[in-house]
Amino acid sequence: MQILDGKALAKKIEQSVADEVATLKAQTNRTPGLAVILVGQDPASQAYVSMKKKACDRVGFYSVSHEMPEDISQDAIENTIKMMNQNPNIDGILVQLPLPPQIDTTKILELVDPAKDVDGFHPYNVGRLVTNLDGFVPCTPLGVMKLLQEYNIDVKGKNCCVVGASNIVGKPMASLLLNADATVEICHIFTDDLKKHTLQADIILVGVGVINLIKEDMVKDGAVIIDIGINRADNGKLVGDVDFENVSKKCSYITPVPGGVGPMTIAMLLSNTLKAAQINVQKKD
């Protein structure tokens, strides 16, 4: 069994982004800019935003956080996004989800300029992903694909079971795998007999937020396990959706939590923002 070390790969990608940022600055006097909208006091969201800000600082991005109260109005967020859409110093706009219940999340995500949608959530970019055209791809599934590539795990023709059908992880993950010629099955909360599906899979990719959902008897020998879940156990430890201790005895590769997919998500956000900045520079040339 080999650990898929997302932390080490993320560091490598971050260094590559930092080098390209330095080149971009030297050649064009242009600094990539990322704006984040954070609504409310959710501790997990605040922690993510803080990690993203530190990562931006490390690679030399310009970054700004718009922190808004929980009771913010729809109009106030929309006006902020419109302002950022028009700001030439901002290449990427990230709306930290989830948003409070009074906010129409779909409307907010659709308002972000697709050329600045570094999270890949705008329907325009979703459509380009599904049709295998270049665009911005959601950071977590994109990070998973980079991790598989790094360890020479070819998904072509493999049976891949994606557990979780969210717009943020499950659906884009399935699209990326399909685009790479994998055979893809999507399971979700209404799937009857999850074990029947996971036992057939060469690669299991799970991200639903249920501790120990994937157990040893649900995994065939030699399977590749990608744990995208992140949960806090009763003892305060961060754990994934896979019973790591027991499943790791059967599989060929597995991602740890933390240190697997998580760091790759932030690395891909940096990569997407750099891509947006480079496209903006080309437009001006």
Q: Which residues are catalytic?
A: 52, 96, 119
Q: Is the Cα dihedral 253, 255, 256, 259 positive or negative?
A: positive
> Under a CB-based contact definition with an 8 Å cutoff, are residues 153 and 253 in contact?
yes
Q: Which of 78, 223, 122 is nearest to 163 (CA)?
A: 223
How far is residue 247's CA from residue 204's CA, in Å, rounded to a whole number? 11
